[in-house]
């Protein structure tokens, strides 16, 4: 019996005993969800397509999913990885007693009072399986460690607000903590790691934001059958990945071939070959050829969709696979775990062949050889090994000496392995043909009702643009828009009948929408292309948020009627013809005062006296136009590069406020300028859209309240407001 040194929390035991205990722990499975969650919460709603699925259609062609294949050996391979790692670790570890009780308690039944939603199942995984994995994987990586402590962490990133509850939770992954550009290790751990592993961990901690994609679904019969159904795609030559339906303006891929680790702990079938050639591409081409030579495009639909929001669409098996794959592309993950409570599948994303290899569906409560804990320890370990391998600079290809150049023309750089391993985040910058930038771009666009929207940053490079139809006129330039007349959708649009918007990186995710930088590209009648690159686009997906954005547009209409300056120039409101989004196009006013704060922990804003006066002037003219902003804070006060002031974000705006409320709002602005932020920790004030009605369409002027004489403020219970002391403080 080999003798071992004493370890943490327990007495010294033999190596054999430790191996036996570990084996027993790793063979464990969690109890069924019915045993863990209270029965009164069952059944639960079926998963819906989450709103961010809108972005999945815009992933670069070279990164999308092309086929699904079975990989029955995956669990065995992962189990072998753990067995091998254990054998090595046991040779080097101190044999202290295993905290068996703690590990078992992580897996044991707890009476969970919450319903088994996707979020709660993710939380359960985080509190149980993931904690046990963190400890065991850390020990397998650093056998000399004398404690069962986690250096590896599995965490949920962001808990979505309840209204975004789609029955899907996909915002969790594994990561190594970093602090000030260094891998964060507890005291004393650095010395236990040899220098090459330390370098590897250092690279992963600082350059890999997350490893693996976990997709949790609400626990329901529908989720179980969705997971079971995924098999049916094995028979397809090509997976039906859904792209935008617009034809005539397809984009070639701009992504270099993504990089798979050369050595993986699983064996994939050999002779896979190149990904299948997209038949949909062929279809698109043949359809394009029928279109007259003037580069017309066919919009994605001839009719407006019933609803512009996405929440109500039930999840299908194809949508679940597309969503899971897209999430793995966005996070550059190799393994995808799809879990619906008691059942699960584990999948490998093979980048080069754009193939998803999928394990059979298994019941997590009855796993055997390997047990569920061993499988997940293996998944965590495999992800770290994969991240280490892929974050290493690939071996240099030694090429023969270059032949003398014959042509003076510049040659494009060959796609060497070196280029393929560049981090995804750095791959895409909006690349556009050399064209003029012209301030009349948006004036030309104001006469066009069809907007083609591309997304081009990180992994996004829309294979085809989304078609958006105008739902509200340009408020900055004259247009032929007739009040209340929503334009008909044409069968095809010539190049001088549509304009394009190319969305860049996200500027912010607000309570209402997602704001992106954007460039407009407009083709004139004679074919000249002009650009305007100082735009932003606010996209909204959920019903309530779309109601707020339509209301915001109505507020901007009122401000434009009164010629208010110092607010964004609005170039129109647009609806996605395939449903899912509405977009407000405006100019980029600069950076908000929060972003400009030198020290974010201190409320100190640097605004010159002239800029302070200008903010007050703008607010006065907003008030004169009969609008109260209702959300005056540093995030909504903006300065451009020339130091010019703007007030943005009118989704909470109110029409026809009382004089007292306007004065109070001016006081808040003054206080803000004096360095006293207003307390907005109160719940957001309701907007007319959220309380009284949901506008599924942009209201015509007669419908929306900009012409009404009654004040929106009157909708608030004035009786209550009189009774409240400091009522304005509560509302503002």
Ligand X SMILES: Nc1ncnc2c1ncn2[C@@H]1O[C@H](COP(=O)(O)OP(=O)(O)OP(=O)(O)O)[C@@H](O)[C@H]1O
**Which parts of this chain interact with ligand X (CB under 6 A)?**
507-508, 510-513, 515, 536, 538, 568, 586, 588-590, 592, 635-636, 638, 648-649, 651
Of the pair 47, 513, the CB lying nearest ligand X is at 513
Is 278 exposed, middle or buried (CB count within 10 Å of its CB: 0-12, 13-18, 19+)? middle
Q: Under 8 Å CB-to-CB from 451, ≥6 apart: which residues?
A: 445, 467, 468, 469, 470, 498, 499, 500, 501, 572, 574, 583, 585
Least Cα distance to 69 among 316, 318, 278, 237 occurs for 237
Rounded to whole angstroms, the Cα distance separating 284 from 307 reads 26
Of the pair 277, 511, the CB lying nearest ligand X is at 511
Rounded to whole angstroms, the Cα distance separating 394 from 371 reads 35
Q: In whole angstroms, how large is the CA radius of gyration of the chain?
A: 29
Q: What's the min distance (Å) between Cβ of 586 and ligand X? A: 5
Rounded to whole angstroms, the Cα distance separating 442 from 572 reads 10
Q: Is the peptide bond before 57 cis (omega within 30 degrees of 0)?
A: no
Token pair of 669, please? 């602005």
Least Cα distance to 46 among 246, 435, 292, 319 occurs for 319
Q: Under 8 Å CB-to-CB from 591, ≥6 apart: which residues?
A: 638, 639, 640
Of the pair 98, 618, the CB lying nearest ligand X is at 618
Rounded to whole angstroms, the Cα distance separating 333 from 139 reads 23
Cβ atoms of 124 and 113 closer than 8 Å = no
Token pair of 237, please? 């030559």
Q: What's the min distance (Å) between Cβ of 54 and ligand X? A: 16
Q: Report CA torsion sign: 308, 310, 316, 318.
A: positive
Of the pair 398, 439, the CB lying nearest ligand X is at 439
Is 61 a known ligand-binding residue?
no
- Reduced to 3 DSSP states, what percent helix, strand and coil does the chain have, rounded to the nearest 5? 35, 20, 50
The one-character DSSP state at 504 is: E
Rounded to whole angstroms, the Cα distance separating 630 from 649 reads 10
Cβ atoms of 218 and 47 closer than 8 Å = yes
Position of minimal CB gap to ligand X: 510
Of the pair 125, 650, the CB lying nearest ligand X is at 650
Instruction: Classify residue 629 as left (phi > 0), alpha (psi -120 to 50) or beta.
Output: alpha
The one-character DSSP state at 484 is: T
Q: Where are the beta strands (DSSP E) in 514-634?
A: 514-523, 529-540, 570-576, 582-587, 591-592, 627-628
Rounded to whole angstroms, the Cα distance separating 230 from 349 reads 15
Main-chain phi, psi angles of 521, to 5 degrees: -130, 120
Of the pair 564, 586, the CB lying nearest ligand X is at 586
Q: What's the min distance (Å) between Cβ of 684 and ligand X? A: 8
Of the pair 119, 552, the CB lying nearest ligand X is at 552
Q: Provide the residue count of the chain.
A: 732
Please report where in the chains the tokens 């999913």 appear, as a residue.
65
Token pair of 298, please? 């066919």
Main-chain phi, psi angles of 345, to 5 degrees: -135, 150
Token pair of 476, please? 């900055």
Of the pair 243, 570, the CB lying nearest ligand X is at 570
Q: What's the min distance (Å) between Cβ of 712 and ligand X? A: 17
Q: What's the min distance (Å) between Cβ of 544 and ligand X? A: 12
CA 75, 81, 87, 91: dihedral to nearest 10 degrees? -150
Of the pair 89, 638, the CB lying nearest ligand X is at 638
Of the pair 167, 568, the CB lying nearest ligand X is at 568
Of the pair 113, 511, the CB lying nearest ligand X is at 511
Token pair of 167, please? 């029955």
Q: What's the min distance (Å) between Cβ of 231 and ligand X? A: 40
Of the pair 509, 693, the CB lying nearest ligand X is at 509
Which residue positions form the known binding site for ATP? Answer: 538
Point out the annotated binding site.
Answer: 538
């Amino acid at each position: 019996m080999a003798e071992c040194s004493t370890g943490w929390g327990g007495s010294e035991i033999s190596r054999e005993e430790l191996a036996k205990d570990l084996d027993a722990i790793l063979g464990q499975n969690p109890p069924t969800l019915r045993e863990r969650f209270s029965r009164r919460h069952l059944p639960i709603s079926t998963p819906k397509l989450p709103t961010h699925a809108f972005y999945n259609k815009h992933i670069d062609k070279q990164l999308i999913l092309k086929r699904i294949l079975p990989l029955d050996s995956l669990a065995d391979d992962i189990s072998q990885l753990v067995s091998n790692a254990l054998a090595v670790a046991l040779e080097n570890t101190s044999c202290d007693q295993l905290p068996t009780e703690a590990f078992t308690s992580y897996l044991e039944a707890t009476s969970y009072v919450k319903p088994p939603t996707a979020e709660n199942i993710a939380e359960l995984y985080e509190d149980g399986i993931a904690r046990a994995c963190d400890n065991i994987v850390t020990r397998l990586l650093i056998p000399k460690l004398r404690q069962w402590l986690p250096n590896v962490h599995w965490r949920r990133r962001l808990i979505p607000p309840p209204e975004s509850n789609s029955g899907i939770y996909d915002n969790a992954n594994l990561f190594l903590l970093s602090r000030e550009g260094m891998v964060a290790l507890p005291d004393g751990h650095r010395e236990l790691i040899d220098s090459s592993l330390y370098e590897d961990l250092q690279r992963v901690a600082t350059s890999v934001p997350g490893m693996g994609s976990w997709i949790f679904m609400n626990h329901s019969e529908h989720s179980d059958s969705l997971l079971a159904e995924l098999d049916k795609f094995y028979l397809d030559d090509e997976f039906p990945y859904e792209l935008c339906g617009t034809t005539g303006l397809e984009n070639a891929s701009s992504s270099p071939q993504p990089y798979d680790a050369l050595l993986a702990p699983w064996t994939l079938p050999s002779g896979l070959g190149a990904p299948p050639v997209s038949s949909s591409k062929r279809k698109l081409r043949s359809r394009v050829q029928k279109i007259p030579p003037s580069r017309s495009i066919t919009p994605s639909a001839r009719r407006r969709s019933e609803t512009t929001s996405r929440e109500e669409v039930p999840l299908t098996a194809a949508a679940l696979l597309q969503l899971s794959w897209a999430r793995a592309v966005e996070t550059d993950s190799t393994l995808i775990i799809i879990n619906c409570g008691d059942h699960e599948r584990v999948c490998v994303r093979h980048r080069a062949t754009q193939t998803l290899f999928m394990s059979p569906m298994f019941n997590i409560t009855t796993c055997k050889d390997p047990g569920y804990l061993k499988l997940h320890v293996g998944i965590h370990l495999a992800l770290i090994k994969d991240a280490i391998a892929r974050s290493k600079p690939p071996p240099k290809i030694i090429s023969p000496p270059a032949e003398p150049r014959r042509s003076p023309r510049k040659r494009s750089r060959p796609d060497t392995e070196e280029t393929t391993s560049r981090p995804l985040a750095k791959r895409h910058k909006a690349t556009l043909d050399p064209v003029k930038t012209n301030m009349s771009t948006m004036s030309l666009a104001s006469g066009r009702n069809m907007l083609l929207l591309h997304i081009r940053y990180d992994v996004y490079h829309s294979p085809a643009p989304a078609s958006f139809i105008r739902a509200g006129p340009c408020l900055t330039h004259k247009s032929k828009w007739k009040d209340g007349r929503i334009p008909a959708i044409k069968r095809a649009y010539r190049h001088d009948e549509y304009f394009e918007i190319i969305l860049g990186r996200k500027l912010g995710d607000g309570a209402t929408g997602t704001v992106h930088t954007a460039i407009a590209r407009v083709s004139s009648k004679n074919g000249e292309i002009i650009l305007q690159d100082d735009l932003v686009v606010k996209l909204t997906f959920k019903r309530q948020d779309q109601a707020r954005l339509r209301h915001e547009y109505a507020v901007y209409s009122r401000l434009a009627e009164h010629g208010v300056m110092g607010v964004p120039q609005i170039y129109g409101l647009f609806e996605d013809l395939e449903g899912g989004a509405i977009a407000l196009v405006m100019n980029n006013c600069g950076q908000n005062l929060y972003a400009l704060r030198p020290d974010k922990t201190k409320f100190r804003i640097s605004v010159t006296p002239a800029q302070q006066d200008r903010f007050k002037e703008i607010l006065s003219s907003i008030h004169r136009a009969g609008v109260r902003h209702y959300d005056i804070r540093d995030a909504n006060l903006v300065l451009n590069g020339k130091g010019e002031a703007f007030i943005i974000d009118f989704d909470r705006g109110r029409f026809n406020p009382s004089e007292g409320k306007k004065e109070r709002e001016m006081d808040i602005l003054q206080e803000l300028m004096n360095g006293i932020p207003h307390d907005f920790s109160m719940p957001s004030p309701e907007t007319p859209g959220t309380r009284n009605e949901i506008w599924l369409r942009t209201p015509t002027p007669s419908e929306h309240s900009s012409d009404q004489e009654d004040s929106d403020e009157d909708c608030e219970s004035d009786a209550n407001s009189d009774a409240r002391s400091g009522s304005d403080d509560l509302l503002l």
